[in-house]
Structure 1
Amino acid sequence: MAGHDGDGNAPGAQAAGPRAATPKEHRTVTRVTTILETAAASDGIRLAALCAVLDAPKSSVHGLVQGLVATGYLAERDSGYVLGPAAGALLGAVRPALADLARPAMERLLREFDETVMLGEPVGDSIVYVQVLESTQVIRYSAPLRTRRPLYPTSTGKVALAHRDTARRNAYLRARLPDERRRARAREELAAVVAEGVAFNRGETLPDVSATAAGVFAGGGRLVACLAVAGPTPRTAERLDTVADAVRAAAKELSATLSRTGGAPA
């Protein structure tokens, strides 16, 4: 297993300079992103409901909403708010969609193991599944789409966290693992993820679910997504290493495709 230095620096991750700032939440930014995410998940959200979600006064939320309407990120519909045209016009992909490029590899993994296959993208301090192909078996793992999941201890999140710069990775671990011994074990695990190219979640998030994930990289070794397979632990535990080998190979293939097509997210 790969080691780390006294500051928990994992191999393969660049150490931040002495003046590097660790990103922190900003209340206004968090409120704006929450408004947009809530609108995206609804057919029309009213102002009162947004105030409840944000636990903020109507005057503050109304100002943010009107600003988003003015810039086209929200639109009014039936006395509620939905995502506006700017979300697609400005943020829509002009490159081949990552999910489309990943689908053939995901379908092969599904056929080989008949367990749920996920494609996740790092989003801030979260991982978000952007495409899921579910197992055909009656008892299976159902992964939530377009929902923020923690970076640790999910298998996809471990991959994303392992390839972060040292300062942000350590700040995340300090905030979520108060015990230093647990943080040390996590740092060792993340170093192994970088060295071995695959991460595991053996019932850490849900006791009856095990998963394995590997990173998808664009040019220059930039992590853009994570490919994973998950299923009920009683069915997957004994073959998880075999699944991991297949996931790692599929992720490597997808990385090569992204490099050829230039289809990686900006």
Structure 2
Amino acid sequence: MAERPATVRPRHRMVDRVSGILEFVARSEGVSLTEISRHVGAPVSSVQGLVNGLVATGYLDERARVYRLGVAPYFLNLLAGRGAVNRILHEDLVALHEKTGSTSAVLSVAVGSDIVYIDHVSDDPHTAYLAERFLRRSLIRTSTGWVLMADWESRDLWAYLETLGDDDRPRVQKLLDELESIRTTDMSVLPNIAEDPDLDGISIAVRERGRVVAAVGVVGRHDELARNRERIVDALRAQARAWDARG
């Protein structure tokens, strides 16, 4: 019996269009919706919905109507065990954990409307489980989440906050009260908004070309962090200067 010829895997126009958008944006320093539309050969009205969906899920990042690649593709690489090179080394978290005497040091990114710990050094099994399984958490309930949200455009931040339930209303009010301070200092210091009121965090932004792309946090018991607040803040700022020096 003759062998059946291999079947070419069929393409899908929508998938082709989405992958084309992602690759085009990834190769750029930032593009407009019109440029994306021209590149994929589709009307702006057709592309707008796709682009909005990609922003909502973290695959694209939009600032002032300019689109860049988001962090979700990087997150998928981590899930597949092929993490991209990052200038925040695991050894940096080890050093922070040792210098601050904290329960945990974590590296976080926003994936859509959630936060994910992508690296950690922790004595706490719960934090270790969240980080090692790359589980999504609520942005509003972590100090690293506050640092990440503070860099969002207002319309995106307001839209996210409006989706939260009554349980998070006090957290929303507290974030709004502290928003300008976080934007000025690139830090969220002891917001006391975790599910467990005894836990807290001190976090600092990680910037790339002026944008906040991640946050590093020191997490532990509120009373211990408060007692060592100045030492922890100094350690985070010193580490941030070291990251900047690496380029």
TM-score (norm 1): 0.55
Q: Does 1:142 align with 2:127?
A: yes
Alpha-carbon separation, structure 2, partners of 1:180 and 1:226 = 23
Alpha-carbon separation, structure 1, partners of 2:98 and 2:242 = 17
Q: List alignment gaps of at least 5 residues for structure 2.
A: 1-47, 60-75
Q: Does 1:208 align with 2:198?
A: yes
Deviations 1:206-259 (CA, angstroms, capped at 9, x unpaired) = 2111211001111x21211111111122322221243123113313322332x2
Alignment partner of 2:90 out of 75, 87, 103? 103
Tell me the SS of whatever aligns to 2:92.
Answer: helix
Identical amino acids, percent of aligned pairs = 24
Deviation at 1:147, TM superposition (A): 1.0
- Structure 2 counterpart of 1:50: none
- Structure 1 counterpart of 2:216: 227
Return closer, same or farther for 1:101/1:195 CA change in 2, 3 Å cut-off.
Answer: closer
The letter of the residue matching 1:104 is: E
CA contact (8 A) 2:105 2:217 kept: yes
Q: Does 1:161 align with 2:149?
A: yes
Deviation at 1:201, TM superposition (A): 3.9
Deviation at 1:152, TM superposition (A): 0.8
The letter of the residue matching 1:161 is: M
Deviation at 1:128, TM superposition (A): 0.4
CA contact (8 A) 1:211 1:240 kept: no
Q: Does 1:248 align with 2:231?
A: no
Higher relative contact order (CA 8 A, sep 6+): 1
CA contact (8 A) 1:203 1:233 kept: yes
Alpha-carbon separation, structure 2, partners of 1:114 and 1:182 = 27
Return closer, same or farther for 1:177/1:223 CA change in 2, 3 Å cut-off.
Answer: same
Return closer, same or farther for 1:101/1:196 CA change in 2, 3 Å cut-off.
Answer: closer
Alpha-carbon separation, structure 2, partners of 1:227 and 1:156 = 7
The letter of the residue matching 1:167 is: R
CA contact (8 A) 1:102 1:254 kept: no
CA contact (8 A) 1:121 1:224 kept: yes
Question: How large is the RMSD of aligned CA atoms in angstroms?
Answer: 3.6
The letter of the residue matching 1:123 is: V
Return closer, same or farther for 1:256/1:176 CA change in 2, 3 Å cut-off.
Answer: farther
Alpha-carbon separation, structure 1, partners of 2:110 and 2:214 = 7
TM-score (norm 2): 0.59
Q: Does 1:194 align with 2:179?
A: no
Alignment partner of 1:112 out of 92, 99, 104? 99
Return closer, same or farther for 1:208/1:94 CA change in 2, 3 Å cut-off.
Answer: closer
Tell me the SS of whatever aligns to 2:141.
Answer: coil
Deviations 1:152-186 (CA, angstroms, capped at 9, x unpaired) = 13100000100011110111122226698874542
CA contact (8 A) 1:216 1:251 kept: yes
- Structure 1 counterpart of 2:114: 126
Deviation at 1:25, TM superposition (A): 6.9
